[in-house]
Amino acid sequence: MNNKLLFIFIIFLGFSLQGQEISDTSFGKGMLNFVAKDSTFSIKFAPRFQLRSMSLWDYNGESYNSPDYNFIVRRARLKFDGFAYTPKLKYKIELGLSNRDLSGANEFNRNTPRYILDAVIMWKFAKNWEFWAGQTKLPGNIERVISSGNLQLIDRSLLNSRFTLDRDLGIQLRHISSLGGIFLMREKFSISQGEGRNVTEGNEGGLQYTARVELLPFGSFKSKGDYVQSDLKRELTPKLMASVTYNYNQDAVRERGFAGDYMIRQDGSIYQTDQTTIFVDAMFKYNGFSFMGEYAKRTADNEIATELNNTPTGDIVLTGNALNLQAGYLFKNNYELAGRYTSIAYEDITGSAPVKQYTLGFNRFVVGHKLKVQSDISYTTLDGAEDNITFRIGFDIHF
């Protein structure tokens, strides 16, 4: 069924390109931009992909081993967006085609590839109010909501991979307020299924509730730069967004709420426990300099999953906290130097050792984030004993 869906999209694109006159556009503005003659709908098609090369050295206690090499298509996406019937009703559909985009098949999504990343409608039903419905990113930590095509380093941090909320199915309510002068406040609320994207076999646990508040004391960023890493627009005045997010996943059935293994008992029932995640983050930009900071903390009522007779099943909720600090400076020739520090401290009950990672990156922006070459090198230490060095280089192309 998923293959048929993808085939339909490709056929639709082919007919659109042949049957419609393409309006004047430029690279990075979308491959296909079409508005109906009567202005009742629009569609923009923007494919993108990212290639990566990685070299890894592990420390064995005395010396570093010979490196392992890996070449991958990290992401390959087909994105469609526009409006339907009225410009107040927008939509977005994004499909993932790479192996990592499709991974995660299990009995709760019928063991099928997970093509659909986003399928969401966004209705501006009143001034400064929007209602969203469908599958999309929750209003979680800033690093996750920033598109993977707009990252300052090769990929997101360890904080994000361990504690993020990611995508889910549900509804969202969003509002923007003026607190006087240029001071803005944005409020975002969501109720979602709580088990991640592309779940088809019903909701096994309770619902997930998320609330996020964003404060912009110096007004809005250029071109929505608060959700784009690197100061490509070179803000003429300081810009800051400071935010806090609260997430409550009631009766969560997976080790990381939306992700991780389902905590299944021997009798086939699923262990459930309430999980809470808090994020505090900030984005600052000024004249080519950018800074992003994040703090995350996850707790659970009972971290250790148990059988009905209270013996441990072996599954443990990944609780703890993490800090991520990232900064960069964009030179006027569109080269950028960036650095990142990430620290993770898990709760003792998880049995996971603390992790620290230091990353240095170097970028060349050809057409902003739409066409760029990136490289970075990371030093990671596990409990101060097991070390790893990873060098990555890659490029993005986004029509």
| pLDDT value, residue 9 | 57
| pLDDT value, residue 11 | 54
Per-residue pLDDT tens over the stretch 261-319: 999 999 999 999 999 999 999 999 999 999 999 999 999 999 999 999 999 999 999 99
Per-residue pLDDT tens over the stretch 120-170: 999 999 999 999 999 999 999 999 999 999 999 999 999 999 999 999 999
Q: How far apart are CA 245 and CA 139, in angstroms?
A: 8
The domain that holds 70 is classified in CATH as 2.40.160.10
Q: In this structure, is residue 389 part of a structural domain?
A: yes
| pLDDT value, residue 190 | 98
| pLDDT value, residue 19 | 47
Q: Using a CB cutoff of 8 Å and minimum separation of 24, what contacts does 358-362 make?
A: 359/153, 361/152, 361/153, 361/154, 361/328, 361/336, 361/337, 362/335, 362/336, 362/337, 362/338
| pLDDT value, residue 5 | 53
Tell me: pLDDT of 12 over 50: yes
List the Cα angle 156/281/350 in 5-degree steps. 65
Sign, CA dihedral 154-155-156-157, equals negative
Q: How far apart are CA 361 and CA 350, in angstroms?
A: 32
Per-residue pLDDT tens over the stretch 193-214: 999 999 988 789 999 999 999 9
Q: In this structure, is residue 11 part of a structural domain?
A: no
Average pLDDT along the chain: 92
CA atoms within 13 A on the CB side of 6: 14
Range of the domain at 30: 17-398
Contact call for residues 124 and 100 (beta carbons, < 8 A): no
**What is the phi-psi region of residue 252: left when phi exceeds 0, alpha when psi lies from -120 to 50, beta otherwise?**
beta
The residue with tokens 């969501």 is: 190
Q: In this structure, is residue 4 part of a structural domain?
A: no
Question: Once rounded to an integer, what is the mean pLDDT over residues 71-93?
Answer: 96
Question: Once rounded to an integer, what is the mean pLDDT over residues 253-263?
Answer: 92
Number of domains into which the chain is organized: 1
| pLDDT value, residue 61 | 66
The model carries a pTM of 0.91
Q: In this structure, is residue 226 part of a structural domain?
A: yes
| pLDDT value, residue 365 | 98
| pLDDT value, residue 323 | 98
Question: Once rounded to an integer, what is the mean pLDDT over residues 76-97?
Answer: 96
Q: In this structure, is residue 271 part of a structural domain?
A: yes
pLDDT above 70 coverage of the chain, percent: 93
Tell me: pLDDT of 1 over 50: no
| pLDDT value, residue 25 | 74
Per-residue pLDDT tens over the stretch 20-72: 454 567 888 877 888 999 999 999 999 999 999 999 999 866 777 788 999 99
Question: Once rounded to an integer, what is the mean pLDDT over residues 179-200?
Answer: 95
Per-residue pLDDT tens over the stretch 332-344: 999 999 999 999 9
pLDDT above 90 coverage of the chain, percent: 82
Q: In this structure, is residue 372 part of a structural domain?
A: yes
Tell me: pLDDT of 15 over 80: no
Q: In this structure, is residue 180 part of a structural domain?
A: yes
Q: In this structure, is residue 12 part of a structural domain?
A: no
| pLDDT value, residue 66 | 81
C-alpha distance from residue 248 to each of 92, 141, 203, 217 (Å): 26, 14, 16, 28
